[in-house]
Amino acid sequence: MRYIAEDIEVRAREELFINIHPIQPAGRLTPEAMKALIAYGDGYSTCDWCVKPFRLDKIRRPPIYEFHSDLAEFLGMDEARVVPGARRGFQAVVSSIAGPGDSVIVSSLAHYTEFLAVEDAGAVVKEVPLNEKNVITGENVAKKIEEVRRETGKLPKLILIDHFDYMFGNEHDIKGIAKVAKEYGIPFLCNAAYSVGVMPVNGREIGADFLVGSGHKSFASPAPSGILATTKEWADRVLRTTQMVGDVTKRRFGIKEVEMLGCTLMGSNLIAMMASFPAVRERVKRWPEELEKTNYFLREFLRIKGNAILSEMPRKHTLTKVDTSKSFDLVARRHKRRGFFLGDELRKRRIIGEFLGATRAWKLNTYGLTWDQIKYLAQAFQEIAREYGIEVE
């Protein structure tokens, strides 16, 4: 084992293994992003050419300003900001729109960061039930809005629903939800942490008032990094500039945005996002092939007797929840390494990223694997199955 400093080991999982970790593959850096990290790693590296009006997203060397406009256009929105993670985007929107006594509609598969953003604002989450396919529909959102109105006497202040959820990677009916949101006049934040950066996403076509993306999850960028995009209509509220005046000095800080806490995502993380952007623009066009590969893999995976898929099929995302409780888990129960046997076997074959020790319901993500790697991965699971006496059709 090699170490960087004291007891920090060198990480080379992406270089040495096929990584099927549920949240890591689409955040793997491009070579350009790695070069950006090296060139812009030092602290305030983005401030070399900061001139009036002294706000990060206005800097033109490197072309941070241009990146912001290109990003807004790419997402079909009017304004875009980069933030330290999708969660900071939720926080900015929720705290601008909801407060104590208010309700925010979320999914029954809402990510915990959505709960926390609502709690931080003093508001309360109201979950929309899933339909029989584990999908959130516009119809169920409408029902929930009515329920909240009956119970609290007020409409919810915000609808915050995931484009694809973290649990099944299922696609939710965001266009239907946007329509319902418009009918009720409630703003809609579409959490696109699993979609912006891997597939084409257009906020205007969706009808979303806010679009939030994740750099480290889906935009080939280092953590923390995220995107908050919005429309002209909402920019004034969520991207409002400071009004505070010092009582003694009478100081004001001009165009600094309150929810952004002034300058947005800085340093090498920002420049890495910018450096990955050209590749990201191209890769979203190849999403259909990513789905072909993942569906191919899962068909092969299902040839292992007892294996099941818990996500909707055919897959519309490369993140999938699988169920191996009637296959690999039967082995795990009598194996001295218990559930870890599967990871051991995968590792022997240079595959990592399985949920440590899990052999019942667990998640995997095939994003970015080549066809050769996909086939190798399918064969590896079948080979392990056979080795442990599980039938492969």
Q: Are 158 and 105 in contact (CB under 8 A)?
A: yes
215 binds a second copy (CB under 8 A): yes
Closer CB to a second copy, 126 or 283, in the complex: 126
Residues 216-235 that bind a second copy (CB under 8 A): 216-217, 220-224
CB of 22 to a second copy, least distance (A): 9
Among 75, 91, 297, 322, binds a second copy (CB under 8 A): 91
Residues 97-126 that bind a second copy (CB under 8 A): 106, 108, 110, 112-113, 115-120, 124-126
Residues 24-83 that bind a second copy (CB under 8 A): 24, 26-29, 32-49, 51, 61-63, 66
Strand partners, 154: none
Q: Which of 220, 222, 203 is nearest to 212 (CA)?
A: 203
Four-CA torsion 37, 38, 41, 47, nearest 10 degrees: -90
CB of 202 to a second copy, least distance (A): 22
| Stretch of 155-163, 168-176, 210-218, 329-337 contacting a second copy, by CB under 8 A | 210-218
Closer CB to a second copy, 153 or 389, in the complex: 153
Separation between Cα atoms, residue 79 and residue 76, nearest integer Å:
9
Q: Are 72 and 229 in contact (CB under 8 A)?
A: yes
CB burial string 115-141: b at 16+ within 10 A, e below: bebbeebebbbbebebeeebbbbbebb
Closer CB to a second copy, 151 or 289, in the complex: 151
Separation between Cα atoms, residue 244 and residue 241, nearest integer Å:
9
315 binds a second copy (CB under 8 A): no
CB of 234 to a second copy, least distance (A): 17
CB of 305 to a second copy, least distance (A): 30
Q: Are 281 and 74 in contact (CB under 8 A)?
A: yes
266 binds a second copy (CB under 8 A): yes
Strand, coil or helix: 188: strand
Residues 149-208 that bind a second copy (CB under 8 A): none
CB of 203 to a second copy, least distance (A): 23
Among 212, 229, 265, 304, binds a second copy (CB under 8 A): 265
CB of 358 to a second copy, least distance (A): 11
Contacts of 249 (CB under 8 A, 6+ apart): none
Closer CB to a second copy, 137 or 327, in the complex: 137
1 binds a second copy (CB under 8 A): no
Q: Give the amino acid at 366.
A: T
Among 187, 267, 339, 343, binds a second copy (CB under 8 A): 267
366 binds a second copy (CB under 8 A): no
DSSP symbols for 191-247: E-TTTBTTB---HHHHT-SEEEEEHHHHSS-PSS-EEEEE-HHHHHHHTPBP----T
CB of 161 to a second copy, least distance (A): 14
- Cis link prior to 62 (omega < 30° from 0)? yes
